[in-house]
Structure 1
Amino acid sequence: MDTMRKAAGGRSLPKIKVTAEDRERLAGLASAAMDRMPDLASYLSDELDRAQVVRSGRSTTGFVRMGCAVEFRDDTTGKVQAVTLVYPGEADIAQGRISVLTPVGAALLGLSTGQSIDWATRTGAAKRLTVLDIREPAFA
């Protein structure tokens, strides 16, 4: 299975991982959001399709999954941000909780420390981010 597909601009997409539990729940979320937000739902679905699924009992640390706190750098501006990746109903930008159904949230899913990915904002602006640090979910 080739997980290094080409991103817009010709760069290879990084290999990503997702837990079996997150994949199942996020696939349902993407499907349910297809009518309301087809572009984001399709992007999330594509990310899930290319991700290596990690089963329970295997190593589920070291990559961004639901509930993880992530520090990343916007490689365009150099700005560093810290966010927690959450489901849409838990999102609160003022508290740094971003939904997986946002462009940056879907882009972060499955990345490991040091990996970079190109993504597009809601306005279509091209961005690149690099994951600097991942903290495991409090409920893990």
Structure 2
Amino acid sequence: MSRKIYITEADLGKLEKLINAAKEFSTGKKEYLEKLELELAWANVVLPTAVPDNVITMNSKVLLRDLDYGDEMTYTLVYPDDADLAQDKISVLAPIGTAILGYRAGDDVEWEVPNGIVRLRVEKILYQPEAAGNFDL
């Protein structure tokens, strides 16, 4: 791990429960769970009131740029039950969702996905619940 990401205490607790449930009840490959666990193990855990406003937290809406193709995409990072690609809501358990969690605006992210390596830049945080004073999401 080259550097630490930021995550709120509340998100960490929810994600740890999610990982444990997925490990217990999910069949098939669990590599994505191990990657998420590794990210969380190295994370800077902060109070919701202390998370920097340029960090991707759960329920943040972000503008990403594909560094290989130049495409821009907007996603809201959500828990699996709220995921809906038609509404650009991407699960934290999806490869890109796991990849962007905790990164800051301006960061470049490289992450292994089923089709190879994706290289993204976090262009902008369009909405972050903590920055908006919404600590209950």
TM-score, L = length of structure 2: 0.86
Identity in percent: 35
Structure-to-structure mapping, 1:1-140, within 5 angstroms: 5=1, 13-35=2-24, 36=26, 37-123=29-115, 125-134=116-125, 135-137=127-129, 140=134
| SS class of match (1:57) | helix
Structure 1 letter corresponding to 2:83: A
Structure 2 letter corresponding to 1:81: M
TM-score, L = length of structure 1: 0.84
Q: Residues 39-78 of structure 1: CA distance to partner in whole angstroms, max 9, x if unpaired?
A: 1111111111111001243245220011100101111211
Aligned residues, how many? 128
**Where does the alignment leave 5 or more consecutive residues of structure 2 unmatched?**
none
CA distance in 1, matches of 2:51, 2:36: 23
Structure 2 letter corresponding to 1:26: L
**Where does the alignment leave 5 or more consecutive residues of structure 1 unmatched?**
6-12
Structure 2 letter corresponding to 1:99: S
The CA RMSD measured in Å over matched residues stands at 1.7
Moved over 6 A (4+): none
